[in-house]
Structure 1
């Protein structure tokens, strides 16, 4: 497929998502009148951000409706077309666990990964397992796979211990996505700062009962080629089992799963980022730069997984 054809396909899919969000906006009956809703939908579909914001203020903000005001960022972001995944998650908080629509190779990977997670739960007990979650695409896949596992095991409404390690200054969009994911997936977020090793020691000291950590590591990640799905931490590290259920997944597999399962993901991936570090060592991937020289394709348009970290300086 040529670059032009890929761009056309991406544009068609974007318009489909916008149409879906417009339908969601039409259902906001408790927040907007029918006339206000239709008027906003019309502007949303036209893509006129300035007009949308002005009109939203007229029908919501100026009325002093605090409940509606809380949704200003959500509705305005709809019009900017840069936060479709986040908005979809907030407007339609239904987590899909059905794999009928998935391609056969993704179904095989899903079953394999669910098996590893189930094995970890049976071996260590869910209360003794933490999930490492930094908002990136890989651990987002892992988070959803964990949710699918819990549903299969009838462990509904389970509050999962989740550790978020901030090593350096992170993107605000990542923090927003982490907070939204915590609400959606019922996570207990334990924040730790500093180097990963020190953070894990602190976590183990705070929760000595922890035996394992679920990680979204893939074999193509730095220093991960020799890992196995169950690998103890190295000597000198906390006594924890690293469980990596998606170790065999490729970059393409990750995005096929996210899109086929309609999994919410961080909005930065819609802006040309393919691997997220911190704000100092992460740039948009040059392989996704469009012909106009200014805009970037979404992360899922990257066809060469070997270029996944092309936007990373570290």
Structure 2
């Protein structure tokens, strides 16, 4: 994290908060090492109540305001065209949120799925036209939880209910790894990372 701050400057960084456990760690690291960095979230309009609750808790805990970016909301689109739904609610707003940044921070981890196994810690992101830093790329699930509990950080209570990965209400079930995301379909990623 320090290297990313030194390379880009804190005011040129943007953290995408997904309200999963990795967000708890990254927000804390940003507040410790780069408090001038922007923190934003993609409010799809169908986040879990627990995600909205931890968003408020994080703002209160650190005394910050998290930016909210919203895309076009088309009810029921998740059932007929989940890829288009993710594009409208996540991908397009992400592009807008990153417009003024030189580097964005994400909570991807290599152990989350086979698609993420080769995730670099820092790389040029052709898709979004800036660098993407992945400070937790080599962290394990245990590393993340240890950090959260050692620092008594607010985290999404859905994790206590068996949700390992958390997204929108219509596309996320409880389950290990990313098994609960778009369960029963071939879809495994929303399109933010490729």
2:112 is matched with 221
The one of 53, 61, 64 aligned to 1:176? 53
Q: Counterparts of 1:172 and 1:159 in 2: how far apart (Å)?
A: 28
2:95 is matched with 201
1:254 is matched with 144
- Please list every run of 5 or more consecutive structure 2 residues that lacks an aligned counterpart in the other structure: 72-86, 189-194
What are the within-5 Å matches in structure 2 for residues 139-218 of structure 1? 139-150=23-34, 158-167=35-44, 169-194=46-71, 195=87, 196-205=90-99, 207=100, 210-218=101-109
Q: Counterparts of 2:13 and 2:4 in 1: how far apart (Å)?
A: 8
What are the within-5 Å matches in structure 2 for residues 47-86 of structure 1? none
CA-to-partner distance for each residue in 1:79-112, whole Å, 9 max, x for gaps?
Answer: xxxxxxxxxxxxxxxxxxxxxxxxxxxxxxxxxx
Q: Counterparts of 1:137 and 1:259 in 2: how far apart (Å)?
A: 11
Query: Quick check: 2:5–2:33 contact (8 Å CA) kept in 1?
Result: no
Q: Counterparts of 1:308 and 1:221 in 2: how far apart (Å)?
A: 6
CA-to-partner distance for each residue in 1:141-192, whole Å, 9 max, x for gaps?
Answer: 1112223335xxxxxxx45411201346110110121122123224342222
Deviates more, 1:127-136 or 1:182-191: 182-191
Q: Within the alignment, does 1:240 sit opposite 2:130 as a pair?
A: yes
CA-to-partner distance for each residue in 1:175-210, whole Å, 9 max, x for gaps?
Answer: 1211221232243422223434322321244x3xx1
Q: Within the alignment, does 1:263 sit opposite 2:153 as a pair?
A: yes
Compared with structure 1, are the counterparts of its residues 193 and 220 closer, same or farther at alpha carbon in structure 2 (3 Å cutoff)?
A: farther
Q: Counterparts of 2:95 and 2:12 in 1: how far apart (Å)?
A: 15
Which is greater in Rg? Answer: 1
1:123 is matched with 7
Q: Within the alignment, does 1:274 sit opposite 2:143 as a pair?
A: no
Query: Quick check: 1:135–1:177 contact (8 Å CA) kept in 2?
Result: yes
Task: Compute the displacement of 1:131 (Å).
Answer: 0.9
What are the within-5 Å matches in structure 2 for residues 290-305 of structure 1? none
SS in 1 for 2:132: strand
Q: How many residues align?
A: 165
Compared with structure 1, are the counterparts of its residues 249 and 133 closer, same or farther at alpha carbon in structure 2 (3 Å cutoff)?
A: same
Instruction: State the TM-score, normalizing by the size of structure 2.
Output: 0.75
Q: Counterparts of 1:197 and 1:280 in 2: how far apart (Å)?
A: 17
